[in-house]
Chains A and B, each alone.
Chain A
Amino acid sequence: MELTAEQRAILEGGRGPYLAQCMRWLVEWGEALGARRLVRCDNTHVLLCVPNLVARGASPRTLEAFAEGLREACRHAVAPGCVATVHTLFLTLDPLDVPENDPEQVRVQREIAAMAVRAGYLTTFTCAPYLVGNVPIKGEICAWTESSAVVYANSILGARTVRHGNESAIAASLLGLVPEFGVLLDENRRGTLRVEVRAELRHPTDWGALGYFTGKIAGLGVPVFEGLRRPSQDEAKQLCAALATSGGVSMFHIAGVTPEAPSLEAAFGGRVPEQKIVFTEADLRATYDSLRNATGDEIEAVILGCPHASLREIWRVAHWLEGKRVAPGVRLWINAARVSRSAAQDMGLLGIIESAGGLILCDTCPTNMRIACRRLVTDGFKQAHYARSMIGAEVIVASTEACLRAAVAGRWMGDD
């Protein structure tokens, strides 16, 4: 890779050993992926989380060494002009009476969070930074962690980011640089797979089903949808999350809708393939069935807000719940960014949800926390997928309204 004199000086330790290491990460990663140069980046979304139960049983020395790596990252200032928001955690900073919220790990995480703010990170602790003010504009080069947010940034906003890990996003935040490869380059943003949508998509979870179906087929490719209307932000959020769950998609286009696809031809860079995948009503139903493995109707939890709920979604839940009660023994948890919960509180929505027996969980989600659960209902394909594989829960994925009906009844009541 060609480096400027200034970049080479940093690599050789001119700005200290930590920034030299950050530069090494970016340069060696870029070389591994065929990058020719580093380019300016002024928007990042980073991981600064202690592992909590991800490292259950690890030695105290490992946990301390890991935490020290995060502290070291936070001892250096974010590059001037760079917007750096922070991804979800594996725990919540709020008091929460579950054994999965390890108090010692919470203490260390709080300490790192305080250091992060001083370094210039905006500690949003969310998987949906675009809902809480980090909204890059078309063409903006970013370094984002969180695969669903990467898909949203590239596809819906027309910004440019590859899928980052914690070290690369931190290095990008401190140096204001990223290696140029993947979807940062025009030629890798063209469609590779044509998908015609014939099914009617009625609500955000249906858009998740389309994403879950397509991600499996698309792999690392760039799907192009035709026959789709403009999604709402909440619908787009579900589509992005599901595409990145069943596949390794970094971006997609909707012909005639998304910023880089004024037409089907434009989405493919000129040559539209003859061959196409068709998504039918039968595929829609089969995709739901593929993430419904419950062996009974009694449920323990209803999980909404995967990815983190928008203010509009919180409003809808509160509006639906007003005057109702969540069934005893059922947890109704809506995952959201702290910013959104504060707004919901000011608007009186949090009070309605809590009076009904629900909870807005901030900083994280139950699956990230590894909260044990035997059977749950969720409106997010991503949550259902990971709850099934990571905590071994039986899952039912359904529309938000069907989830809320189940929460109040204490049992799965069917789709409508």
Chain B
Amino acid sequence: MIETVRLRGRAVVRGRAEGYALVADATLSFWGEVDPVSGRVIGKGHPLEGQSLAGRVLVIRSTRGSSATPMVLHLASLEGVAPAAFINVEVDSLAALAAVVNRIPMVTDLECNPFEVIRTGDYLIVDADAGVVEIHRVAQASGGG
């Protein structure tokens, strides 16, 4: 059985995308902490170290900006390993630029704390145009069946 939750948010970069959530209540720098060829987080000690961003909806506090953020995301897009969408608590201006250039939807200001309601592995449909995030989760089997 699939549970579905709909949350309202604010579009930073418009568009629509879907994918499995990758969640960490942390910041991430694309410059230095993400390998644009493998699409994996390489930052030592980062909570997402070793995880692939490819096709995922990245749910993090914010990205940490560097002039090279758009370049890393552009290379990742060309290699086909960029995230599908961003859900951020705070908006970093260089990540917003990277999302605009690479046409990756970005949503912020969800109506509830994303780290409490979204879990890694949930399937998310991000409709930034409508300002809506749909969370689809396979419900845990319960005693009542």
Contacts and interface: CB of A to CB of B under 8 A. Distances in A.
A2 B94 CA distance: 22
Interface of A: 24-25, 28-29, 32-33, 47, 49, 51, 54-59, 61-62, 65-66, 69, 87, 145-147, 162-168, 181-182, 248, 386, 389-390
A412 to B, nearest CB: 23
Given A25-B101, A28-B13, A390 B69 contact: no
A167 B78 contact: no
Contacts of B72: 54
In the A-B complex, the 7 residue pairs with the smallest Cβ-Cβ separation, listed nearest first, are A165-B70, A145-B67, A62-B78, A32-B96, A28-B100, A32-B12, A57-B37
Q: Is the interface of A mostly helix, strand, loop or mixed?
A: helix
B96 A58 contact: no
A58 B65 contact: no
B12 A165 contact: no
B32 interface: yes
26 contacts: A25-B97, A32-B91, A32-B99, A32-B100, A33-B96, A47-B67, A51-B71, A51-B75, A54-B36, A56-B37, A57-B37, A57-B38, A58-B37, A59-B79, A66-B74, A66-B78, A87-B67, A145-B67, A163-B67, A163-B93, A165-B69, A165-B98, A166-B71, A167-B101, A181-B93, A389-B43
A95 B36 CA distance: 27
Contacts, number: 96
A390 B67 contact: no
Interface in B70-125: 70-72, 74-75, 78-79, 91-94, 96-101, 106
Nearest to B72: A54
B66 interface: yes
B64 interface: yes
B79 A58 contact: yes
Interface residues of B, number: 33
A87 B67 CA distance: 10
A97 B93 CA distance: 38
A28 B71 CA distance: 18
A2 B6 CA distance: 32
B38, B74, B79, B93 pick with most chain A CB within 10 angstroms = B93
B68 interface: yes
A90 B44 CA distance: 22
Given A69-B74, A147-B65, 19 more contacts: A25-B100, A29-B97, A32-B93, A32-B106, A33-B96, A51-B36, A54-B36, A54-B68, A55-B37, A58-B75, A66-B74, A145-B67, A147-B66, A164-B97, A165-B69, A165-B94, A165-B101, A168-B70, A168-B97
